[in-house]
Amino acid sequence: MGKLLAVALVLIAIISAVPILMHTWWMPEDISTHGHMIDHQMSETMAEAGIAFVAAQIVLAAFIGMFGDKKDGRKATHLPGGAKAVVIAAFLLVGTEVLALGVFGRDAWAEVYFKPAASDAMPIQVQAEQFAFYFRYTGPDGKFGALHPDKIDEGSQNFFGLDPANDVESRDDIVAASLVIPVNKPISLMMHAKDVGHSFYVRELRIQQDFVPGLDIPMHFTATKIGKYEIVCTQLCGLGHYNMRAYLEVKSQEDFDQWLKQQSQ
Amino acid sequence: MPDASAPAVHQHAAPTSFLRKYVFSLDHKVIGKQYYGLALVSVFIGMILSWLMRFHLVWTNAAIPGLQLLSKNGAPGGVMTPEYYLSLLTMHGTLMVFFVLTNAPFAGFGNYFLPIQVGAEDMAFPRFNMMSFWVTFVGFLVLVTAFFIPDGPPISGWTAYAPLSAVGKDAGPGLAWGQNLWAISIGLFCVGQLLGSLNFIATTLDLRTKGMTLARMPICTWAWFITSCIGLLAFAVLLPACVLLILDRVAGTSFFIPAGLVISDHLQPHAGGSPLLWQHLFWFFGHPEVYIAIVPAMGIVSHILMASMRKPLLSVKVVYSSMIAIGFLSYMVWGHHMFLSGMNPFSGLIFSFPTLVITIPATIITMIWIGSLYGANLRFHTASLFSLGFVSMFVAGGVSGFFLAQPSLDIYLHGTYFVVGHFHMVMGVAAIFGIFAGTYFWFPKMTGRMMNDTLGKLHFWVTFLGAYCIFMPFHYLGFAGNVRRYSSFVDDYLQPLLPVHKFITIAALVTGAAQLVFLFNLIHSRFKGAAAPDNPWEATSLEWSTSSPPPFDNFGGRHIVVKHGPNEYGVKGEKGDYIMQDSPEPEPAGD
């Protein structure tokens, strides 16, 4: 039974590792300026965690295979070095790993959250609600109109609760159901929730951030590749959660300008 | 700590009436079995819910015969609606985390064996003990009542994030009375656990028999003791959080609800609350809860491994010291569930560090288990197989923690199946392997009969391989960005992942079927199993010094005096290669 379990453990270790090594199911190509740092950190962690997983399973398998009870009255022996060696090894191996991951992993986090958005970043507001995303652009005046929750009216497509009759700044605001942005242009996204918690996740952008009712949360990123990508909700928000999505459309500057012109008409 | 040389003795006569003997019993052994039974019922309900969910995920529009009987609205014609999927998901998570992973390894086995292992006749407060079970049981009834009300169970997940969980019916189905029942149930559960934890702590500290110093306590008693200390602090926070949630829902307060929310076209009459407050309170409980589930399993597995290896662990002291370190650190890491929640991003780095550091004591324990196998004379009965399987699963689930401990990687992996794979392996499957190991190991003591070892081994193999087939691919799905808590996969990029989901569903159905073998073995052996000797595994701790099953007062009037440590294996004893803790024989000469 011991030998069988040992073989099973080795097979589990190998079979588990194959899809990882072959990237059978893996992250899609990164289309952001910061994503390479996350990808690098992911690969480093994968290497360290992967080696730890495979090594532990194989040593476990080896000891199980080697030290089954043969009922020959053999006296049990102990691992050379005993617990002291194990504790020192654990501290050195994991301690180094922890420090390395903690210290180097900081950079990617800092790039997304500590670095302010570029001064020329284009401001866009995204509002999440059960079960859709809406995006708001400032229009020619460069300013967002104020939000009035009591004026929200889905029927007349006033998703944000704007008050153009009394609020000049809101009159030229552009509201869209897709996030359309120019390529290589820094974007400053203000995240606003209308009802409950939601999340904004674009795999290719390496961006995920919760919407928190009551808080407006800033995010910034730059997309580097023209294309159409899915934006999905990753925070359980109610019965239509699975179907809450929008598209990120990254266009050339010319195409974007044209799109914006169409929207403002 | 001085020896408790004259322990208080709680003498109460053995009851004779059916109600007092089997229902409202003060006997910790009966209460332990009641907790175990409740966990068993819960785990089978939870498992059937997971079958239904897995089936729906891959055959979304197919009818499940009979499901409409459970909920006419949730499954018209047997086809599950998206909201009913979320109801089942909430109930699955709540039942499994609270009523299985907390009840069985801690309250169930702990109740039965902690007093016996320290040489006591009962718990310190038998009436509190009975109350803690019955409060928990009422909590269970309140929770499952949600299945049968028109509104149905809540759809907000076992984490019940506000404001979804706080604003009532406007936010969706199940969020009116269903959510109320959930909050009341969990509040009651907290009361039960607080009473239970106090009892465990008092019993461990006050009722140890003569000679049972702290250092001579078996490793699983240590684990239950440490878990009680963790639970006492964790449930003491979740309880008021549930009260505040109920107040927001029924009394018009706004602890978790800010101003200006428009839900189902209604401007909500709340202002000034914070959804993040719920998350902080919930995860301040929620992360230690992981250790409430896993530390007892660690103790049980260590205990069984030593009896199986016929030698002590390299250092038991290092293991329980590491458990204490884990318990301590578990209170500093809750924010790693909230890296992307909108809290100050600097907090992300602060919470990341202790999260990474907690892997050190966890690794020490794992390496002690593996290193101790070197030079062992390992016996392969079902309990030892599940213990070894536990170690393998704990490693597999543990290494993915390296990813999730880093906020920068959470940006990609948070909210995906990677997280689901991680916690199912390290908390769910590993703890359940601990429960299985404990069941096969202690069943003879609890019932006086042996379980069938061949069926046990069949159960082990299908469960072990099946668990890897189910939960390892979850990690791959996470790398592909597969979002969790979706009732079906309509996004374009998720379509190519459907075959992986099909594979997982089939593996889940097969693995689940193996649990029916376990259930059969459990019930059949209870009545028809071979008679169990007092000490079938040639183990050393006090539960093996008494009859199988133990008499009402645990030791038949004998006053136990402990003369040996709990792990004297691989020595020359009178009965074989071990010395019982209460054996009068002298300490063996050093190696």
Q: Same domain for A255 and A135? A: yes
Q: pLDDT grade, residue B2 (50/70/90)?
A: very low
ipTM for this model: 0.96
pLDDT in tens, B392-401: 999 999 999 9
DSSP letter at B535 equals -
Task: Report the pLDDT averaged over residues B67-77.
Answer: 92
State yes or no: pLDDT of B591 exceeds 80. no
What does the alpha-carbon distance between residue B54 and residue B75 come to, in Å, rounded to a whole number? 15
What does the alpha-carbon distance between residue B565 and residue B218 come to, in Å, rounded to a whole number? 8
What does the alpha-carbon distance between residue B182 and residue B165 come to, in Å, rounded to a whole number? 10
Q: Same domain for A53 and A127? A: no
Q: Which residues of B touch A86 (CB under 8 A)?
A: 314, 318, 364, 367-368, 371
pLDDT at site B590 = 53
What does the alpha-carbon distance between residue B398 and residue B576 come to, in Å, rounded to a whole number? 37
Contact by Cβ (8 Å): B170, B264:
yes
Number of domains forming the structure of chain B: 2
pLDDT at site A69 = 81
pLDDT at site B11 = 56
What does the alpha-carbon distance between residue B443 and residue B532 come to, in Å, rounded to a whole number? 9
Inside any domain, residue B383: yes
Task: Report the pLDDT averaged over residues B412-416.
Answer: 97
Q: Which of B484, B503, B529 corresponds to the end of one domain? A: B529
Q: Same domain for A214 and A177? A: yes
DSSP letter at B157 equals T
Sign of the dihedral through C-alpha B502, B503, B506, B508:
negative
Least CB–CB distance from A98: residue in B356, B378, B570: B356
Inside any domain, residue A105: yes
What does the alpha-carbon distance between residue A217 and residue A210 come to, in Å, rounded to a whole number? 9
pLDDT at site B587 = 77
Give Cβ neighbours of residue A261 (< 8 Å, ≥ 6 apart).
none
Residue B488, both tokens: 């079906």
Determine the angle formed by the axes of helices B82-94 and B177-206, rounding to 10 degrees: 10
Task: Report the pLDDT averaged over residues B180-196.
Answer: 98
Task: Report the pLDDT averaged over residues B287-309.
Answer: 97
- Identify whether B549 is preceded by a cis peptide bond (ω within 30 of 0): yes
Contact flag A76-B491 (C-beta cutoff 8 Å): no
pLDDT in tens, B430-488: 999 999 999 999 999 999 999 999 999 999 999 999 999 999 999 999 999 999 999 99
pLDDT at site B342 = 92
Widest CA span of chain A, in angstroms? 93
Task: Report the pLDDT averaged over residues A244-257.
Answer: 97
Q: Same domain for B355 and B242? A: no
Q: Same domain for B333 and B251? A: no
pLDDT at site A75 = 84
Mutant choice from A10, A130, A195 vs B, greatest count of B C-beta within 10 A: A195
Q: Same domain for A139 and A60? A: no
Distance, in angstroms, between B110 CA and closest chain A CA? Answer: 27
Distance, in angstroms, between B559 CA and closest chain A CA? Answer: 33
Mutant choice from B167, B305, B380, B411 vs A, greatest count of A C-beta within 10 A: B411
The CATH code of the domain that includes A162 is 2.60.40.420
pLDDT in tens, B247-263: 999 999 999 999 999 99
Angle subtended at Cα B336 by Cα A46 and Cα A190, rounded to the nearest 5 degrees: 100
pLDDT at site B1 = 43
Contact flag B275-A108 (C-beta cutoff 8 Å): no
Least CB–CB distance from A208: residue in B83, B171, B411: B411
What does the alpha-carbon distance between residue A237 and residue A232 come to, in Å, rounded to a whole number? 12
Inside any domain, residue A29: yes
pLDDT in tens, B204-216: 999 999 999 999 9
pLDDT at site B98 = 97
Q: Which residues of B touch A52 (CB under 8 A)?
A: 395, 399, 402
Q: Same domain for A61 and A139? A: no
Q: Which residues of B touch A238 (CB under 8 A)?
A: 83, 86, 155, 164, 171-172
Contact flag B262-A152 (C-beta cutoff 8 Å): yes
Q: Which residues of B touch A240 (CB under 8 A)?
A: 82
3-state DSSP of B443-489: HHHHHCECCCHHHHHHHHHHHHHHHHHHHHHHHHHHHCCCECCCCCC
Give the residue numbers spanning the domain of A58: 2-68+79-113
Q: Same domain for B178 and B65? A: yes
Distance, in angstroms, between A123 CA and closest chain B CA? Answer: 19
Inside any domain, residue B98: yes
Inside any domain, residue B283: no
Distance, in angstroms, between B77 CA and closest chain A CA? Answer: 19
- Hunting for tokens 């071990």 — which residue is that? B578
Contact flag B161-A130 (C-beta cutoff 8 Å): no
Q: Which residues of B touch A203 (CB under 8 A)?
A: 412, 481, 493
Q: Which of B529, B552, B586 corresponds to the end of one domain? A: B529
- Identify whether B163 is preceded by a cis peptide bond (ω within 30 of 0): yes
Task: Report the pLDDT averaged over residues B531-549.
Answer: 96
Inside any domain, residue A148: yes
Q: Which of A131, A259, A256 is nearest to A195 (CA)?
A: A131
- Hunting for tokens 């499952």 — which residue is that? B144
Inside any domain, residue B469: yes
Q: In what order do the strands lie in the sheet with A132-137?
A: A174-176, A132-137, A122-129, A186-193, A217-222
Q: Which residues of A touch B311 (CB under 8 A)?
A: 76, 78
CA atoms within 13 Å, Cβ hemisphere of B298: 34
Q: Same domain for A134 and A249? A: yes
Sign of the dihedral through C-alpha A21, A25, A29, A35:
negative
Q: Same domain for B219 and B110? A: yes
Mutant choice from A111, A191, A200, A210 vs B, greatest count of B C-beta within 10 A: A210
pLDDT more than 90, % of chain A: 83
Give the residue numbers spanning the domain of B37: 23-258
Distance, in angstroms, between A207 CA and closest chain B CA? Answer: 6
One-character DSSP codes across A221-236: EEB-S-EEEEEE--S-
Number of domains forming the structure of chain A: 2
3-state DSSP of B193-238: HHHHHHHHHHHHHHCCCECCCHHHCCHHHHHHHHHHHHHHHHHHHH
Inside any domain, residue A74: no
Inside any domain, residue A32: yes
pLDDT at site B589 = 62
Q: Which residues of A touch B264 (CB under 8 A)?
A: 130
The CATH code of the domain that includes B512 is 1.20.210.10
pLDDT in tens, A95-147: 888 888 877 778 889 989 999 999 999 999 999 999 999 999 998 999 999 99
pLDDT at site B3 = 46
Least CB–CB distance from B357: residue in A12, A27, A98: A98
Q: pLDDT grade, residue B6 (50/70/90)?
A: very low
Q: Which residues of B touch A16 (CB under 8 A)?
A: 396, 468, 472
Distance, in angstroms, between A131 CA and closest chain B CA? Answer: 11
Least CB–CB distance from B261: residue in A52, A87, A213: A213
Contact flag A196-B481 (C-beta cutoff 8 Å): no
Give Cβ neighbours of residue B523 (< 8 Å, ≥ 6 apart).
none
Distance, in angstroms, between A64 CA and closest chain B CA? Answer: 7
Query: Long-range contacts for B145-150 (Cβ within 8 Å, ≥24 apart)?
Result: B145/B181, B146/B87, B146/B91, B146/B174, B146/B177, B146/B178, B146/B181, B146/B182, B147/B70, B147/B71, B147/B91, B149/B177, B149/B178, B149/B181, B150/B73
Q: Which residues of A touch B374 (CB under 8 A)?
A: 63, 67, 77-79
Distance, in angstroms, between B557 CA and closest chain A CA? Answer: 36
Q: Same domain for A133 and A260? A: yes
Determine the angle formed by the axes of helices B345-357 and B359-373, rounding to 10 degrees: 20
Residue B93, both tokens: 């998570």
Q: Same domain for B417 and B523? A: yes
Q: Same domain for A8 and A129? A: no
Give Cβ neighbours of residue A210 (< 8 Å, ≥ 6 apart).
A197, A198, A199, A200, A217, A235, B340, B341, B342
Q: Which residues of B touch A9 (CB under 8 A)?
A: 392
Q: Same domain for A37 and A98? A: yes
State yes or no: pLDDT of A72 exceeds 90. no
Which one is predicted more confidently, B390 or B570? B390
Distance, in angstroms, between A104 CA and closest chain B CA? Answer: 10
Inside any domain, residue B591: no
State yes or no: pLDDT of B12 exceeds 70. no
What does the alpha-carbon distance between residue A252 and residue A235 come to, in Å, rounded to a whole number? 31
Inside any domain, residue A73: no
Contact flag B359-A94 (C-beta cutoff 8 Å): yes
Q: Same domain for B340 and B254? A: no
Give Cβ neighbours of residue B102 (< 8 Å, ≥ 6 apart).
B189, B193, B231, B289, B292, B293
pLDDT at site B4 = 47
pLDDT in tens, B77-126: 999 999 999 999 999 999 999 999 999 999 999 999 999 999 999 999 99
Q: Which of B529, B554, B572 corresponds to the end of one domain? A: B529
DSSP letter at B146 equals G
Q: Same domain for B333 and B249? A: no
Q: pLDDT grade, residue A94 (50/70/90)?
A: confident
Task: Report the pLDDT averaged over residues B139-166.
Answer: 96
State yes or no: pLDDT of A70 exceeds 90. no
Q: Which residues of B touch A103 (CB under 8 A)?
A: none
Q: Same domain for A259 and A128? A: yes
- Provide the Cα torsion B472, B477, B482, B485; round to 10°: -20
One-character DSSP codes across chain A: -HHHHHHHHHHHHHHHHHHHHTTSS-PPPP-BSSHHHHHHHHHHHHHHHHHHHHHHHHHHHHHHHH-B--SS-PPP---TTHHHHHHHHHHHHHHHHHHHHHHHHHHHHHHHHTSPPPTTPEEEEEEEETTEEEEEE--TT--PPPP-GGG-BTTTTB-S---TTT-GGGTT-EEESSEEEETT-EEEEEEEESSS-EEEEETTTTEEEEE-TT--EEEEEEB-S-EEEEEE--S--STTGGG-EEEEEEE-HHHHHHHHHHHH-
Q: Same domain for A109 and A143? A: no
Contact by Cβ (8 Å): A215, A39:
no
Residue A106, both tokens: 């900081």
Least CB–CB distance from B258: residue in A213, A217, A242: A213
Low-confidence winner among A98-102, A196-200, B319-323, B403-407 (lowest mean pLDDT): A98-102
B411 phi and psi angles, rounded to 5 deg: -55, -40
